[in-house]
């Protein structure tokens, strides 16, 4: 007799899934990448570069494999990589970062988010999430037994549609605080909007964090994709904030190698230590040869002028896709950072099935009928606020020029649907 048999002697119904994951469905990226593949659509949905990684980065990985760096790395990070991160970030943080006590290497920024929340959030603690949020934040908070509390950015239309039109209402943020609020998650430049928080906004968040004794988890994985005159400001560098901020970065974004899954967390000793304690029981350690490759790549970035090259390369792609979307009549909102563009889909008359969210209907229709996949942004909102995404769709420009050209050809047909 098996455990699944209705005649089983067990009286308790068989329910193998833990409650903490029962509400999780497949991510929106899984659905739209599968749909794009099935329909042959150009995938401007999921944010992964479809072009080759830089040669010097791949060369570093080949060398690390050839050198037989095959065994477990130091749990908190391969010594060469934490040293390279300290060299890269110390000037940007305006302090000497201790490579062995203030830097942790993670399995992508995703594990940095998970390990930080596991280490800093108690069951019942509240975590402030700014909407639209990167979709792993609420899942990580829920798995720690925390309660996400959502504060949506408000759209203030302006003459030039831009990501900067999305602003944090500080009164709303203050009203969301409670004695149980423990952590605030910030994402700048942001996914999906491409908003770069201004100094004034960050100072206001910092003031709130200091007054209410909050820790800030600052997800800065798009730090090198910032388009002047916008400026990337690290909240950890603002007065009083180093002591209460964990900053995350990602080699996947920085070197166009999202599949390598190498990320890092930078924070003062008293915050890194508990995160390292959680991390040692999550992945224990991170791929040794790929850590070595990222270390070598970081060492070489200054001589190669790599970071300026990267932001220039993405600025050109951004401007190209902005033109395409504009000509298709989709009113793109100019992003100041990241590799995403949000568009206003009001002009599209698309059939919406009963019970279907409009943004999902529009993106499914764009994928199937127009042959270009975009991501519907409602999964970046909590259910009560999802209607804020009804007329939005997110496109990415981290794609090769020929793919962007093909998308342009297909999107030019949009006029015939109106």
- CB nearer to ligand PLP: give 165 or 248: 248
CB of 109 to ligand PLP, least distance (A): 4
Q: Is 258 in the site for ligand PLP (CB under 6 A)?
A: yes
Task: Report the residue from 146, 194, 252, 332 that binds ligand PLP according to the rule CB under 6 A.
Answer: 252
Options 50-58, 172-180, 206-214, 250-258: segment touching ligand PLP (CB under 6 A):
250-258
The span from the CA of 110 to the CA of 250, in Å, is 9
Using the rule CB under 6 A, is 193 a contact of ligand PLP?
no
User: Could you tell me the strand order of the sheet in which 263-266 lies?
Assistant: 103-106, 263-266, 245-250, 215-219, 181-187, 126-131, 147-152
Select from 292, 220, 261, 272 the least CA-distant residue to 108.
Answer: 261
Residue 287 in contact with ligand PLP, rule: CB under 6 A: no
Tokens in use for 168? 């944090």
Closest CA to 254 of 297, 198, 192, 191: 297
Q: Which CB atom, from 128 or from 408, has the smaller least distance to ligand PLP?
A: 128
Of 394, 406, 403, give the one whose Cα is nearest residue 29. Answer: 394
The backbone torsions φ and ψ at residue 402, rounded to the nearest 5 degrees and listed phi first, read: -70, -35
Q: Minimum distance between the CB of residue 264 and ligand PLP, rounded to whole angstroms?
A: 9
290 binds ligand PLP (CB under 6 A): no
Which of 131/219 has CB closer to ligand PLP?
219
CB nearer to ligand PLP: give 263 or 289.
263
What is the per-residue burial (b if ≥16 Cβ within 10 Å, else e) of 302-338? eeeebeeebbeebeebbebbbebbeebbbebbbbbbb
> Which residue stretch of 108-116, 119-127, 139-147, 206-214 sits at the interface with ligand PLP (rule: CB under 6 A)?
108-116
Give the SS3 label for residue 146.
coil
Identity of the residue, 152 or 252, whose beta carbon is nearer to ligand PLP in the bound complex: 252
Q: Rounded to the nearest whole angstrom, what is the least distance from the CB of residue 234 to ligand PLP in the complex?
A: 15
Name the DSSP letter for residue 172: H
Contacts for 341 with CB less than 8 Å, ≥ 6 apart: 194, 318, 321, 322, 325, 332, 333, 334, 335, 394, 395, 396, 397
- Pick the piece of the chain touching ligand PLP (CB under 6 A) from 102-110, 124-132, 154-162, 380-388: 102-110
Closest approach of ligand PLP to the CB of residue 385, in Å:
18
185 in Cβ contact with 217 (< 8 Å)? yes
**Nearest approach, Cβ of 356 to ligand PLP (angstroms)?**
25
| 3-state DSSP assignment of residue 129 | strand
Among 110, 215, 287, 378, binds ligand PLP (CB under 6 A): 110
Least separation in angstroms between residue 56's CB and ligand PLP is 20
Residue 190 and residue 135 in contact, taking contact as beta carbons nearer than 8 Å: no
- If the CB atoms of residues 249 and 289 are measured against ligand PLP, the closer one turns out to be 249
Q: Which of residues 117-156 bind ligand PLP (CB under 6 A)?
A: 134
Residues that bind ligand PLP (CB under 6 A): 47, 108-110, 134, 187, 191, 219, 221, 250, 252, 258, 263
């Amino acid at each position: 007799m098996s455990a699944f048999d209705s005649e089983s002697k067990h009286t308790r119904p068989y329910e193998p899934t833990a409650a903490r994951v029962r509400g999780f469905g497949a991510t929106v990226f899984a659905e739209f990448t599968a749909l794009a593949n099935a329909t042959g659509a150009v995938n401007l949905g999921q944010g992964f570069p479809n072009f080759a990684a830089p040669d010097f980065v791949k060369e570093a990985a080949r060398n690390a494999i050839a050198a037989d760096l095959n065994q477990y790395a130091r749990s908190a990070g391969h010594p060469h990589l934490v040293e390279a991160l300290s060299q890269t970030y110390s000037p940007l943080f305006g302090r000497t970062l201790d490579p062995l006590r203030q830097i942790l290497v993670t399995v992508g920024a995703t594990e940095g988010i998970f390990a930080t929340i596991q280490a800093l959030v108690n069951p019942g603690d509240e975590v402030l999430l700014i909407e639209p949020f990167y979709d792993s934040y609420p899942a990580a908070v829920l798995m720690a037994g925390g309660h996400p509390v959502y504060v949506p950015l408000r759209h203030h239309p302006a003459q030039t549609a831009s990501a900067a039109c999305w602003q944090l209402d500080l009164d709303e943020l203050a009203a969301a605080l409670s004695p149980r609020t423990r952590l605030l998650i910030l994402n700048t430049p942001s996914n999906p909007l491409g908003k770069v928080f201004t100094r004034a906004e960050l100072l206001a968040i910092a003031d709130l964090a200091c007054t209410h004794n909050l820790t800030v988890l600052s997800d800065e994985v798009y730090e090198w994709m910032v388009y002047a005159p916008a400026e990337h400001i690290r909240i950890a560098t603002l007065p009083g904030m180093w002591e209460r901020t964990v900053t995350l970065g990602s080699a996947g974004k920085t070197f166009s190698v999202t599949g390598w899954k190498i990320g890092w967390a930078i924070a003062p000793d008293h915050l890194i230590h508990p995160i390292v304690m959680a991390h040692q029981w999550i992945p224990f350690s991170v791929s040794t040869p790929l850590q070595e490759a990222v270390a070598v790549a970081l060492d070489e970035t200054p001589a190669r002028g790599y970071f300026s090259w990267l932001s220039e390369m993405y600025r050109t792609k951004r401007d190209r896709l902005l033109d395409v979307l504009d000509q298709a009549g989709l009113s793109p909102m100019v992003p100041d950072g990241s590799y995403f563009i949000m568009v206003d889909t009001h002009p599209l008359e698309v059939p919406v099935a009963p019970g279907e969210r409009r943004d999902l209907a529009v993106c499914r229709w764009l994928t199937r009928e127009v042959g270009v996949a975009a991501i519907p942004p409602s999964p970046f909102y909590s259910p009560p606020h999802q209607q804020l995404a009804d007329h939005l769709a997110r496109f990415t420009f981290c794609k090769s020029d020929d793919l962007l050209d093909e998308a342009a050809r297909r999107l030019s047909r949009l006029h015939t649907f109106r």
